[in-house]
Amino acid sequence: MSDPIIQMQGIKKHFGNVIALNGVTFDVRPGECHCLLGDNGAGKSTFIKTMSGVHKPTEGTITFEGRPMEFSSPRDAMEAGIATVFQDLAMIPLMSVTRNFFMGREPTVGRFIKRFDIETANRITMEKMRQMGINLRAPDQAVGTLSGGERQTVAIARAVHFGAKVLILDEPTSALGVRQTSNVLATIARVRSQGVGMVFISHNVRHALAVGDRFTVLNRGQTLGTANRGEIDAAELQDLMAGGQELATLEGSLGGTI
């Protein structure tokens, strides 16, 4: 088992007197998909923001590639290779796939006047999308014409192209239909096989079980340990997320439908 790329030990994050994270331990190894499961309000977004350099932890250490790491901005984290695909995907529907793909990081040609090298950009975009299993009609197709799953894939492909070593996916499947979910999960599997460490954040146990190698449950700002694939089943994860009792009683009345 290879060493973790990023390791978070005993992370606490307080906002004034609100304790958002209260002892989170989490790591990601290259080429694995580590799922972080948690219900709404469990602290998932604070966790993501801490990992991606938006928040500084109040307590605890983050080790990145063996060295203690202090990110002063999301930009730092991005440069180091920690990329986040947020739920809004940072995509602009009116702009073409290529323009979205290279937004903020445009390749240029020309010595005196730096031109946006749109030919190269188009070629790379088409190629990367084909590798992800999406055949674009044309690279100048607007992102607005893509489906939710395809947009997710563009966002993932973009992060990988720009050198992500750790890729944090914030609820990538929450708004998708069945078919599109399976496409996104396939993308995750494909990217994982390229050696990228994936952090899959979700509250959907089944989606997590489909691609996850390890599972960590976050409940009320705390991680409750990590389980390997095969050591835990959906019902146990579900119970941990809900904090045990409440769901069990609820489940009785719903006849085991969730």
Partner 1 sequence: MATQAAASADERIKTESITTRLMKRPELGAIGGVILVTIFFLFTASPSMFTLAGIMNFLTPAAQLGILGIAAAMLMIGGEFDLSIGSMVAFAGMIFGVLVVNMGLPLILAIPLTMGFAALVGAANGAIVLRTGLPSFIVTLAFLFILRGASLVGLKVFTGGATQLRGVRDAVAADWLTPLFSGHAFGGLFRWMADHGWTAKLASGTPAVPGIPVSILWFVAVTLIATFVLLRTPAGNWIFATGGDKNAASNSGVPVRRVKISLFMLTACAAALVAIITVIDTGSTDARRGFMKEFEAIIAAVIGGCLLTGGYGSAIGAFFGAIIFGMVTIGLTYTGFDQDWFQVFLGGMLLLAVVFNNVIRKRVTGER
Binding site for partner 1 (CB under 8 A): 74-75, 78, 86, 88-95, 99, 102-106, 108, 113-116, 118, 130, 133-135, 137, 142, 144-145, 182, 185-186, 189-190, 210-211
Q: CB of residue 137 vs partner 1: minimum separation in angstroms?
A: 5
Q: CB of residue 104 vs partner 1: minimum separation in angstroms?
A: 3
Nearer to partner 1, 103 or 248 (CB): 103
The H helix count followed by the E strand count for the chain is: 9, 12
Q: CB of residue 21 vs partner 1: minimum separation in angstroms?
A: 22
Contacts of 167 (CB under 8 A, 6+ apart): 83, 84, 85, 156, 159, 160, 191, 196, 197, 198, 199
Nearer to partner 1, 153 or 216 (CB): 153
Q: How does DSSP classify residue 130?
A: H
Other beta carbons less than 10 A from residue 10's beta carbon: 14
Q: CB of residue 222 vs partner 1: minimum separation in angstroms?
A: 28
Nearer to partner 1, 24 or 97 (CB): 97
Nearer to partner 1, 123 or 244 (CB): 123
Q: Is 139 left (phi over 0), alpha (psi -120 to 50) or beta?
A: alpha
Residue with tokens 């989170």: 24
